[in-house]
Amino acid sequence: MSGLFEDDEKLPAPEPEGLGLFGDAPSAPPPVVQSTPYRVLARKYRPVTFADMIGQETMVRTLRNAFAVGRVAHAFMLTGVRGVGKTTTARIIARALNCIGPDDQGGPTVDACGVCHNCTAILADRHPDVVEMDAASNNGIDEIREIIDSVRFRPMQARTKVFILDEVHMLSRPAFNALLKTLEEPPPHVKFIFATTEIRKVPVTVLSRCQRFDLRRISAAELAAHFARIAGQEGVRVEPEALMLIARAADGSARDGLSLLDQAIAQTEPDQMIAATDVADMLGLSDRAAVFDLFEAAMAGRPADALAITDRAHERGADLGVMLADMLELIHTVTRLKTVPALRTSSDLPEAERIRGTAFAERISMANLGRAWQMLLKGIAEVEAAPDRRAAAEMVLIRLCYVAELPPPGDLVRRLTEQGVTTGSAPPPPSPSGGGVRAVANGAPARAIAAPEPVPAGPRLAGFRDVAALAADRREALLHGYLVHSVHLVRFAPPVIELRPQADAPRDLASRLAALLLDATGARWTIALSTAPGEPTLAEQGVAADGARRVVAAAHPLVLAIMVAFPGARIESVHDARSDAYGLIADAPTLGGDPEGPEFAPLDADYADGPSDHLED
């Protein structure tokens, strides 16, 4: 019996015949499915030849010419932002150096065949003569010594041994130093290819030994067209505006953009088109139309409409901080459209930017655009630091709306001067400090009155201020400081100077000053010390003069009008072009000035924007 059962175990199982136990047809065994691991789009559509690369035409042309004439460098340095193709370019160069063609008889070529055993092995990352190392995790001198030791041996299979070091800026200083000699004089069968995102961290001694290629950011238009081709190959329908959103979010990186496209495909039903709203929700972006509407409401001074737009965006899950950043980008686009009118018909800009952006450019002044830019720059920083991002963003928008109703300081001054300014008070008396006034409205200085042209300097040593200035010119810093802050002039009658020094002045002050004057003029000067009170120090005189200028400026009609138009404004500083380094006006007999003091600029004077004009909300 046991033998019978043993033989039965060796027989194949009988095929089922007829109906099953419950009268149904016997079930067939499930088919064996050979599952293929999914490859993300960034890997599936990674360029394998130079013809597949986008946005790097200059580098591709240079390398083609180098391979054509046989002038291929021994070391390359590839730099650029993440995802532009640095490592991909390194692998393409490695295949180009080692391709032997389908007949195994070819030489180095920029158009690698992709079918020879060298090409296929390099494509599969398993070629023994193409060594790829991540310098971020292998950045010590021991790893570099291994490379240096292996450089001496000829390739095992390939024509050229290629070392690819990614993120080479992460190498330590000893590792860089150990590599220098080999990098300068490598054997003919060795090539080095370095890739980095931080080119400034690479020592100059290494850069000077490499042929450098800067891979540029890929434009949004090129990326959108590239993503559209890939979506077509994948059988996916995507709205053009959605592709543009992905391209903008990629920020010049093809790899980042393909990862975002992968995510957008995954979150959409197979038979549905990927809409721009879906991509905006995925990226946490606000709707582009909402950004235009928000910008229009803010620049028109409609806070209620602006907050209603942000409420709807917040309900959809949009980040209001990101929305402010989108507004900042829109201001930049509108400013470019205003300064470069040819962009209004350019195909590089989406239709919304061309149509609505052009309308904004024609309607909004450059001063208002600049003011909105500065306020948003500061506001975005506030949002990032605030505990409640939504509240901070709304406060920024409210400030922007209310400032939009105010004219720029320059327009206000022009309007006031054209209409004439009357304040009901007598004009301010002339002041010996006189000069140009700069008022600050909400943090924005406005040059209300143009300063007169500077008067040529008079003869040297015409007064005690000239003596102090001489010490500064001769780089006698300590002596100059004492002459300004610690000395009271009693009498100035060249070649005699009578002074009253303060307690903090050094005992040898008189002798040091006399030596300086002798060296500068060639004549002997007498420095007499006195106990008479004398004049205030030069520093004290400067402070008093500045206070007097502020009083006169505060009473000027134009400044008063600015204070009324901009509540909370303040006078930041008052400048007089005729004043010297001590803030004092030169004596009239010496410099030809008006002994009665200068006049302010007339009310009909042109407004001049100074380089320091800025706006703080």
Top-level class of domain 288-405: mainly alpha
Provide DSSP, 390-445: HHHHHHHHHHHHHHHTSPPHHHHHHHHHHH----SSPPPPP-SS--EEEEEETTEE
Q: What is the mean pLDDT of the chain?
A: 79
pLDDT at 201 exceeding the cut of 50? yes
Residue 469 neighbours by CB under 8 Å, 6+ apart: 580, 581
Residue 395 — pLDDT band, cuts 50, 70, 90?
A: very high
pLDDT at 511 exceeding the cut of 80? yes
Of 2-11, 286-295, 419-428, 595-604, which one has max mean pLDDT? 286-295
pLDDT average, residue stretch 56-61 = 88
Identify the pLDDT of residue 446.
40
Beta-strand pair 444-449/436-441 = antiparallel
Identify the pLDDT of residue 429.
43
Residue 373 — pLDDT band, cuts 50, 70, 90?
A: very high
Of 6 and 398, the one with more pLDDT: 398
Give CA separation, 575 vs 424, 452, 554, 600, 607, in Å: 26, 10, 13, 12, 16
Identify the pLDDT of residue 158.
87
CA angle 374, 378, 379 (to 5 degrees): 110
Q: How far, in Å, CA of 75 to CA of 151, rounded? A: 13
Q: How far, in Å, CA of 563 to CA of 112, rounded? A: 73
- Name beta bridge partners: 570: 440
Percentage above 90 pLDDT, the chain: 13
Among the ranges given (87-96, 370-379, 593-602), the one the predictor scored with the smallest mean pLDDT: 593-602
Q: How far, in Å, CA of 9 to CA of 577, rounded? A: 113
Give buried/exposed letters for 340-368 (b at 16+ CB in 10 A, else e): eeebbeeeebbebbbebbbebbeebeebb
Identify the pLDDT of residue 124.
85
pLDDT at 25 exceeding the cut of 70? no
Identify the pLDDT of residue 377.
92
Identify the pLDDT of residue 26.
58
Task: List the CATH code of the domain at 41-214.
Answer: 3.40.50.300
For the stretch 514-535, pLDDT in tens is 888 888 888 888 888 888 888 8
8-state DSSP, 75:
E
For the stretch 63-73, pLDDT in tens is 999 988 888 89
Identify the pLDDT of residue 357.
87
pLDDT average, residue stretch 197-203 = 89
For the stretch 447-473, pLDDT in tens is 454 444 443 333 468 888 888 888 888
CATH number of the domain at 220-283, out of 2.60.40.1080, 1.10.8.60, 3.40.50.300, 3.40.50.280? 1.10.8.60
Q: How far, in Å, CA of 238 to CA of 285, rounded? A: 17
pLDDT average, residue stretch 540-554 = 85
Rounded (to 5) percent helix, strand, coil in the chain? 50, 10, 40
Give CA separation, 524 vs 290, 480, 488, 516, 521, in Å: 80, 20, 21, 10, 8
Identify the pLDDT of residue 347.
67
Of 246, 325, 238, which Cα lies nearest the Cα of 282?
A: 246
Q: How far, in Å, CA of 292 to CA of 288, rounded? A: 7
- Residue for token pair 């950004």: 291
Identify the pLDDT of residue 17.
56
Give CA separation, 370 vs 328, 344, 365, in Å: 11, 20, 9
Of 489 and 7, the one with more pLDDT: 489
pLDDT at 612 exceeding the cut of 70? no
pLDDT at 442 exceeding the cut of 50? no
pLDDT average, residue stretch 493-516 = 88
Identify the pLDDT of residue 53.
86
Residue 398 — pLDDT band, cuts 50, 70, 90?
A: very high
pLDDT average, residue stretch 584-611 = 47
pLDDT average, residue stretch 353-367 = 86
Identify the pLDDT of residue 12.
54
pLDDT average, residue stretch 589-606 = 44
For the stretch 106-153, pLDDT in tens is 888 888 888 888 898 988 888 989 998 888 888 888 888 888 888 888
Stated pTM of the model: 0.54
Of 417, 419, 437, which Cα lies nearest the Cα of 428?
A: 437
Identify the pLDDT of residue 448.
58
Domain ranges of the chain: 41-214, 220-283, 288-405, 422-617
Joined tokens for residue 98:
């080692």
Identify the pLDDT of residue 478.
86
